[in-house]
C-alpha cells in the first residue's frame, strides 16, 4: 500500500505547475519550462515503467479452479451438459442474427422517403426541361 501511495504522490507532483513568480526565479534559467517539461516526461515514463514492474509482482496469482473430484463419468456428463447448453445458446444467437438481417433487408422509412424525393426530383427536372423548350 505504501508503494502505491508513494507512486500516486510522485504522479501528482509530476503535474504540478509552478506560478509565474516561481518560474521567473527558476533554477533552470532561460528555457526552464522546456527543461521542466522534459524532466516531467522522463519522470512520468519512469513512474509508469516502475509501476508495470512492481505492481504485477505484488498481486496474488489466480489459480484455475480444480476439476470436480469423482468419477470420470461425472466429468464427462458435466462436459456434455455444458456442451448442450452452449449449443442451445449458439442456436438462439444465430436465430437472433438471422432475424436482425431480415429486418435490415426490408426498406425503412428513410429509404421510402428517399425514393419519393428521387421521383419528385426527376419530375422536377422534366418540368424544367419542358418549360425551357416552350420558351
pLDDT value of position 31: 54
Q: Based on the domain organization, do 77 and 129 belong to the same domain?
A: yes
Give me 1's grid cell. 500500500
How far is the C-alpha of 119 from the C-alpha of 133, rounded, in Å? 21
Q: Based on the domain organization, do 130 and 88 belong to the same domain?
A: yes
Inside any domain, residue 16: yes
Q: Based on the domain organization, do 78 and 53 belong to the same domain?
A: no
pLDDT in tens, the chain (135 residues): 455 555 555 555 555 555 544 555 555 555 556 777 777 777 777 767 666 666 666 656 566 566 556 678 888 899 999 999 999 999 999 999 999 888 888 888 888 999 999 999 999 999 999 998 887
pLDDT value of position 40: 76
pLDDT value of position 98: 92
* Structural domain containing residue 15: 2-58
Inside any domain, residue 64: no
CA 86 to chain centre: 27
Q: Considering its fold, how many domains does the chain have in total?
A: 2
Amino acid at each position: 500500500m505504501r508503494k502505491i501511495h508513494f507512486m500516486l504522490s510522485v504522479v501528482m507532483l509530476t503535474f504540478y505547475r509552478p506560478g509565474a513568480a516561481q518560474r521567473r526565479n527558476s533554477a533552470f534559467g532561460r528555457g526552464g519550462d522546456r527543461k521542466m517539461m522534459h524532466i516531467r516526461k522522463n519522470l512520468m515514463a519512469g513512474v509508469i515503467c516502475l509501476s508495470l514492474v512492481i505492481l504485477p509482482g505484488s498481486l496474488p496469482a489466480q489459480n484455475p479452479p480444480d476439476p470436480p473430484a469423482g468419477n470420470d463419468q461425472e466429468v464427462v456428463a458435466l462436459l456434455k451438459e455444458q456442451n448442450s447448453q452452449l449449443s442451445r445458446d449458439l442456436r438462439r444467437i444465430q436465430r437472433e442474427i438471422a432475424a436482425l438481417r431480415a429486418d435490415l433487408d426490408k426498406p425503412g422509412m428513410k429509404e421510402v422517403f428517399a425514393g419519393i424525393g428521387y421521383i419528385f426530383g426527376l419530375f422536377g427536372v422534366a418540368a424544367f426541361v419542358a418549360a425551357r423548350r416552350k420558351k
